[in-house]
Structure 1
Amino acid sequence: MCGFVGAIHQNNSGSQLEDIKVMNQVITHRGPDDEGYFENEDVTLGFRRLSIIDLSHGGQPLSYDEQRYWIVFNGEVYNYVELRDELKADGYEFKTSSDTEVILGMYKKYGVETAAKLRGMFAFVIIDTQTHEVYGARDHFGIKPFHYAEQDGQVYFASEKKSIVKLLNDKSVDDAALQHYMTFQYVPDPYTMSTNIKRLTPGHYFIKRPGEEMKITKYFEPKFTPKPVQDENKLAEKIAESLHDSVAKHMRADVTVGSFLSGGVDSSIIVALARQMSPNIKTFSVGFAREGYSEIDVAEETAQRLDVENISKVITPEEFVKEFPNFMYHMDDPLADPAAVPQFFLAKLARQYCKVALTGEGADELFGGYTIYNEPNSLKMFDYFPKPLNGAINSLASKLPAGMRGKSFLERGTTPLEKRFVGNAKIFMEDEKAQLLKRYNPANPYTVITKPFYDATTNLDPINRMEDVDMHTWLIGDLLLNADRTTMAASLELRTPFIDKEVFKVASTIPADMKIAHNTTKYILRKAAESFTPDNVLYRKKLGFPVPIRFWLKNELHDWAVQTINESEVDDYINKDFVLKLLADHTNGVRDNSRKIWTVLTFMVWHQVYIEGKFPNLV
Structure 2
Amino acid sequence: MCGFCGFNDKRSKKDKEKIIKSMADRIIHRGPDSDGYYVDNDVALGFRRLSIIDLKGGSQPIYNEDNTIAITFNGEIYNYQSLREDLIKCGHKFRTNTDTEVIVHGYEEWDTEVFNKLRGMYGIIIYDINKKKIIGARDIFGIKPFYYYKNDGLFMFASEIKSFLSHPDFKKELNEKVLSLYLSYGTNHMEETFFKYTYKLRPGHYFVYENDKLEVKEYFKLKYEKEDKPFDEYENVLKETIESSIKYHQISDVEVGSYLSGGVDSSYVVAEARPNKTFTVGFDGKGFSEIEYAKDLSDYFKIKHYSKVISADEFFDILPTVEYHLDEPSANVSAVPLYFLSKLARKEVKVVLSGEGADEMFGGYNEYNLEGLEKFYDKVPLFLRRGIGNIAKRFPYFKGKHTILKYSKPLEERYYNKTEMFLSKDAQAILKSKYRTDLSPFDLCTPYYDEVKGKDDVQRKMYIDLNFWLPNDILLKADKMSMANSVELRVPFLDKEVWKLSQKIPTKYMVRDGQTKYIFRKIADEKIPEEWAKRKKKGFPVPFGKWIREEKYYNKVKDLFNSDFSKEFFDNEAINKLLDEHYHGAVYGKQIYTIYAFLTWYQRFFITEK
Residues in 2 aligned to 1:28 and 1:11: alpha-carbon distance in whole angstroms:
24
Equivalent residue for 1:433?
Answer: 427
Secondary structure of 2:566's partner?
coil
The CA deviation at 1:200 is 0.7
Give the corresponding residue for 1:550: 545
Equivalent residues of 2:178, 2:190 under 8 A apart: no
Alignment of 1:210-609 (within 5 A): 211-227=211-227, 229-275=228-274, 278=275, 281-375=276-370, 379=374, 381-382=376-377, 385-402=380-397, 404-438=398-432, 439-555=434-550, 556-567=552-563, 569-589=565-585, 591-609=586-604
Equivalent AA in structure 1 for residue 553 of structure 2: L
TM-score calculated relative to the size of structure 2: 0.96
For the residue of structure 1 that corresponds to 2:3, the secondary structure is strand
Q: Would you say how many aligned residue pairs link Structure 1 and Structure 2?
A: 607
C-alpha contact 1:305 1:534 (8 A) present in aligned 2: no
TM alignment of 1:14-163, pairs within 5 A: 15-163=15-163
The CA deviation at 1:304 is 2.0
User: Is the Cα–Cα contact under 8 Å of residues 376 and 462 in structure 1 kept in the other structure?
Assistant: no
Q: Quick one: distance in 2 between partners of 1:3 and 1:11?
A: 23
How far off its partner does 1:384 sit?
A: 5.6
**Structure 1 residues 106, 394: CA separation in 2 closer, same or farther (over 3 Å shift)?**
same
Distance in structure 2 (CA, Å) of the matches to 1:502 and 1:523: 20
Shift in Å, 1:408: 1.7
Query: Does the C-alpha gap of structure 1 residues 200 and 231 become closer, same or farther in structure 2, counting only changes over 3 Å?
Result: same
State the partner residue of 1:204.
205
| AA partner of residue 425 (structure 1) | T
Please state whether the residue corresponding to 2:199 is helix, strand or coil.
Answer: strand
Give, in angstroms, the shift of residue 511 of structure 1.
1.5
Alpha-carbon spacing, 1:384–1:552, altered in 2? closer, same or farther (3 Å): closer
RMSD, matched Cα: 1.8
| 2:188 is aligned with 1:187 | yes
Aligned partners of 1:570 and 1:607 also within 8 Å: no
- Given that residues 560 and 566 in structure 2 are in contact (C-alpha distance below 8 angstroms), is that contact kept between their aligned partners in structure 1? no
CA distance in 2, matches of 1:378, 1:507: 30
Structure-2 residue corresponding to 1:171 = 172
TM-score by length of 1: 0.95
d(CA) in 1 for partners of 2:64, 2:282: 47
1:187 aligned partner, one-letter code:
N
SS in 2 for 1:193: coil
**What letter matches 2:200 in structure 1?**
R
CA distance, structure 2, for counterparts of residue 379 and residue 290 of structure 1: 31
Between 105-114 and 441-450, the greater mean CA deviation after superposition = 441-450
- % identical aligned pairs: 38
Question: In the TM superposition, what is the alpha-carbon distance from 1:532 to its structure 2 partner?
Answer: 2.1
Q: Is the 8 A contact 1:568 1:607 kept in 2?
A: no
* Deviation (angstroms), 1:610: 0.4
Structure 2 counterpart of 1:535, one-letter code = E
For residue 434 of structure 1, give the secondary structure of its aligned residue in structure 2: helix
**Letter of the structure 2 residue corresponding to residue 270 of structure 1:** V
**CA distance, structure 2, for counterparts of residue 326 and residue 130 of structure 1:** 41
Per-residue deviation, 1:400: 3.2
Shift of 1:233: 1.2
Q: Which segment is superposed worse, 545-554 or 12-21?
A: 12-21
Q: Distance in 1 between matches of 2:581 and 2:81?
A: 58
Cα shift at 1:572: 2.1
SS at match of 2:340: helix
Q: What is the CA-CA distance between 1:379 and the residue it aligns to?
A: 4.0
Segment drifting more, 212-221 vs 127-136: 127-136
Residue identity opposite 1:28 in structure 2: I
Whether the 8 Å CA contact 2:544–2:589 is kept in 1: the answer is yes
* Bigger mean CA offset, 29-38 vs 374-383: 374-383
- Give the whole-Å Cα distance in 2 for the aligned partners of 1:384 and 1:503: 32
**Structure 2 gap segments, 5+ residues each:** none
CA, structure 1 residues 247+471, in 2 after alignment: closer, same or farther (shift >3 Å)? same
CA gap of 1:388–1:75, structure 2 versus 1, over 3 A, is closer
Pairwise CA distance, 1:14: 7.4
Distance 1:67 1:376, change over 3 A: farther
